[in-house]
Structures are given as C-alpha cells and as structure tokens.
Amino acid sequence: MTVRRVQGSEVEYGIAVTGQPHANPMVASTHVVNSYAAAHGLTRRARWDFEEESPLRDARGFDLSRDVADPSQLTDEDLGLANIILSNGARLYVDHAHPEYSSPEVTNPRDVVVWEKAGEAVMRLGAELAGRIPGAHPIVLYKNNIDNKGASYGSHENYLMNRSVPFESIIEQLTPFFVSRQIITGAGRVGQRQDGSVHAFQIAQRADYMEVPVGLETTLKRPIINTRDEPHADPKKYRRLHVILGDANCSEVAIYLKHGMTSLVLDMIEAGELADVPQLANPVQALHEISHDPTLKVVVELFDGRMVTALDLQRFYLDAARTHVQRHGSDEQTDDVLNRWEGLLDRLADDPHRCARELDWVAKLSLLESYRERDNLDWDHAKLHLVDVQYHDVRLEKGLYHQLVRSGRIDRLIADDEIKDAVATPPTDTRAYFRGMCLARFALDIAAASWDSVIFDLPGHDSLQRVPTMEPLRGTKDHVGQLFERCESATELFRAITAG
C-alpha cells in the first residue's frame, strides 16, 4: 500500500484590481498570464492542444450532448485566451474570469506540494509584472475559493486510477471520506450559505457550493463526486478521478494530507479491500452541517439511522488504511501520511486549536478569534471578512498566511529553494519531464502540447508531427534524459524517438 500514484492539482486564483472594483477580471487575468510569459520568453507560438480533450464524457457510460451542456463545460474549445505551457510541465492559462495554474503530473503527495507552491510563485510574479504595465493598476491574487458575493471558483485534484474499478464502487466508498475530510483540508470561511447570509465561521469554503451527490458539472449543480471521464492517458487502462469539492490550501501540510489521505483511500478501493463503508443518509446535507460546526461536535445521520461525527468517519478510513498497510506493507511517505493523519485526528478531538500550525481553517479561526476578542467584534463585522480574504493574499509581504509563516507559527514541509527550482524544472519521474524539457530546449519547434501529446513543427516535414504521451510514467528522466543530452535539435530528438 502506498500514497504513490500519478496525481496533480489545478488552482484558480481570485483576482482583484486595486482601485478598480469594476475592472474586467478576464482582461486582468490575461495580463497576469501574458506578463509572466513575456518576462520568461514564453511568448512563442506553442499552444495548448485541445484535440484529445473530452469534457462531456461521463464515467457513468454516456456523453452529454453539446447542445444541452453549459458553456463553462466546453473546456475543449480554444477561446483565444492566454494559455501557455511552462518549462516545468505545468499549464498557465485564463479560465474564464480567473488565472489558473495546473501543476505537472507528479507521483506522490509531497511533490504535489512542491509544484503547487511553484504555481503560487508563478502567479505572484505574474501579478507583479502585470501591475508594471504602463497605466495599469496593481493586481492582487488570492489563493481562495470565494469572492464573498456568492460566486465560487475551483481548486481541483486529479488522481489516476485503474479503469477496471467500477465507478459505482468509487462513489459508494469515497463519498463519506470526501464529506468528512474537510476537517483536515478546509481553508475556513467567514459566512455560511453561498451568499454568506449567516454570520458565522465555517470549516470549508467550497462546502456550501456542493449541491448534488454525483454529477458531471463543475460550475453549477456542483457534485461531491465529479463524473468527468477524461483520463488524459490510455483510456483502456486508466481513469482520472477529477475532484472538485476541495478548498485551495495555503498550508503545505494540508495540501500534503489532502492528496496523501485521498491516495490511500483510492489504493484501498482499487484493491477491493474497503468494506462496510458507513453510508450517509444525505451526503450533501452532511457536508454542509460538518462545515458549519468548527467545534466538530455535530452528528450526521447514516443510512442505517446511526449518528456519527466527521471525526468518526475519518477514524473509519484511517483504521482501514492501517489494516491495509499491515497486510500489504508501506513506505516512508505513506507512514508519514498515516502518522500525521492520526495525530491530527487525536488533536482535533481534544481541541481543534491544537492544529493551528498545520491546518488552514484552524489557523484562520485562531486569527479571527483574536480580532474578535481584542475589538469585541461580531461575525458580521467587515474587518473579519477582510482578515478572511487577506489570509489568502499571495503577496509575501501582505498575505496573513505568509506572515504566520515568517513568525514561525505555521509548519513547513518544503524548502524555498526546492520551490524556486520547481518553477522552472519539471518533475523527473513522469511524462511531464519530456513535455517540460521539450519546451525548455526546443520551444521554437513545438507547435502545441497537452497532457498526452507534444506536437512538433519540424523543418522538412509537410505536416505537424504528434508524439503521443499516453503513458504517464514514460517520458521520465530515466527514460529520455540521455536523449536530451545528446540531441542538439528537435529534429534529432524526434528521429531518436521514432526510430525503428
């Protein structure tokens, strides 16, 4: 048993133009992406390849008609918005009204943290550079999920799974885990309900925006389990579990455990050894009720009538994972995830404030309570909403999360130098290495790229040449590193790859 599997994250960032409350967010987002591209020599013709994308394919066995799909679901259409591929294998682009960073594929939760934090650095610099455009106003980005006006934007996770696992099993065995894991992965929010009309704190920012247990949509009627069947890999072997209900985390520990715990649960589901999962009577209602109670005392109803807490549900999955490890063995990172998971559940049960060094929602709640006590504020006070948003400000000198880091009040997992390196370099153990190195070495000869292909435009060829990358664990440094060392041109590389 292991936390190792191909995975990654996608984060849409909240955006504001200082002094311009009515500024067009799509234009501002475009400035962020294009400013970063221009400063790093990325204003080249290489485009994102949409050809292999299939956002309307449903894992339940059908394709949604384009005629009835919401326009936001048509992510396979090139709208002409800023969209670039980075040398670290990531994608930086404008997703409607937000700049978005999609990390390269990695093989373990720790690397998710590294390349997601690299994405924060990319966004931070892009916003700074956009603010230097003559006549432009400063642009501020927030790594959060709500605009406090009733709108929410996503922070998605992706996990590659074995195609042979029935999707019904994924729904049944994963739903209670997703409903309850927010007590570790939530980012915290001032205000309850989508419009924030209930003046109180809650654990997760995305919880109130989840409206159905299962579905294909991501921007309306949002589901706990998303059914998009777009593997970006060999569809006969793999499915990509696209997770949309999670919060955007600033805490490195929270990002790490979000991916680590989920990877362990998926490992058990694939093995067919996650039995007797407690089924919730109303998963959506339970998701909301758990989020609305930062004391973690609320009980939710199971299908058999029993009442349990989120801690109880998480204990079930932790105990199952411990048993699974005893049966199949483990590794260092898996043991670390299990130990951190267990330690947090113990401390959350005793007093959630004991987890302020590791969990975003607890760190934020502690800050908010200090302001409330000092200034005698009720939960509807504007200052608390400002603190809420400022926690997520990506600027190192302004963001309250970053201030907590500087003051030694937040635990770190990754050194700054490692994050800095990941801004420019891809992971070495997935196909992202091949994609990133192609863009770093032969940018002028790359016409397009995507998760599962790199398309060359080579002298002497009448047509573009597509190199499929359907196996996520091929194209690694071990696999193709020597080719990049000895090939002086894209033509040489292409010949070496396609020879005999």
> Are residues 8 and 103 in contact, defined by beta-carbon separation less than 8 angstroms?
yes
- Are residue 384 and residue 448 in the same domain, yes or no? no
pLDDT at 358: 98
Confidence of residue 66 (pLDDT cuts 50, 70, 90): very low
Mind listing the pLDDT tens digit for each residue in 155-195?
999 999 999 999 999 999 999 999 999 999 999 999 999 99
394-410 burial by CB neighbour count: b if 16+ within 10 A, else e? Answer: beeeebbbbbbbeeeeb
Q: For residue 7, what are the β-bridge partners?
A: 106, 159
> Are residues 5 and 98 in contact, defined by beta-carbon separation less than 8 angstroms?
no
CA distance 161 to 164: 9
In the listed set 381, 402, 419, which residue is the last one of a domain according to the structure?
419
- What's the average model confidence in pLDDT over 31-39? 94
Mind listing the pLDDT tens digit for each residue in 314-362?
999 999 999 999 999 999 999 999 999 999 999 999 999 999 999 999 9
Q: How many CB atoms lie within 10 A of CB 21?
A: 7
Residue 53 pLDDT > 70, yes or no?
no
Q: Which domain CATH number covers 196? A: 3.30.590
Mind listing the pLDDT tens digit for each residue in 227-238?
988 999 999 999
What is the count of structural domains for the chain? 2
- Are residue 107 and residue 69 in the same domain, yes or no? yes
Give the Å distances, CA to CA, from 251 to 30, 186, 257, 401.
27, 10, 10, 8
pLDDT at 76: 44
pLDDT at 51: 64
In the listed set 352, 387, 419, which residue is the last one of a domain according to the structure?
419
CA distance 112 to 243: 15
CA distance 239 to 188: 31
- Are residue 450 and residue 414 in the same domain, yes or no? no
Mind listing the pLDDT tens digit for each residue in 250-300?
999 999 999 999 999 999 999 999 989 999 999 999 999 999 999 999 999
Position 163 in a domain:
yes
Structural domain span for residue 439: 428-498
- Are residue 244 and residue 382 in the same domain, yes or no? yes
Give the Å distances, CA to CA, from 136 to 36, 99, 100, 139, 447.
15, 17, 21, 9, 31
Mind listing the pLDDT tens digit for each residue in 439-453?
999 999 999 999 999
| Per-chain mean pLDDT for the chain | 93
- Are residue 457 and residue 336 in the same domain, yes or no? no
- Are residue 145 and residue 254 in the same domain, yes or no? yes
- Are residue 166 and residue 38 in the same domain, yes or no? yes
Position 2 in a domain:
no
In the listed set 419, 451, 470, which residue is the last one of a domain according to the structure?
419
Residue 98 pLDDT > 90, yes or no?
yes
Confidence of residue 146 (pLDDT cuts 50, 70, 90): very high
Catalytic residue among 63, 76, 95, 147: 95
CA distance 310 to 183: 7
> Are residues 144 and 295 in contact, defined by beta-carbon separation less than 8 angstroms?
no
Give the Å distances, CA to CA, from 184 to 7, 193, 360, 404.
19, 20, 8, 18
Confidence of residue 96 (pLDDT cuts 50, 70, 90): confident
pLDDT at 72: 53
Query: What pTM value is reported for the model?
Result: 0.94
The dihedral built from the CA positions of residue 274, 280, 285 and 290, taken in this order, carries a sign that is negative
Among this protein's residues, is 95 annotated catalytic? Answer: yes
Alpha helices in 329-472, H assignment, sequence order: 332-350, 360-375, 382-390, 400-406, 416-424, 432-441
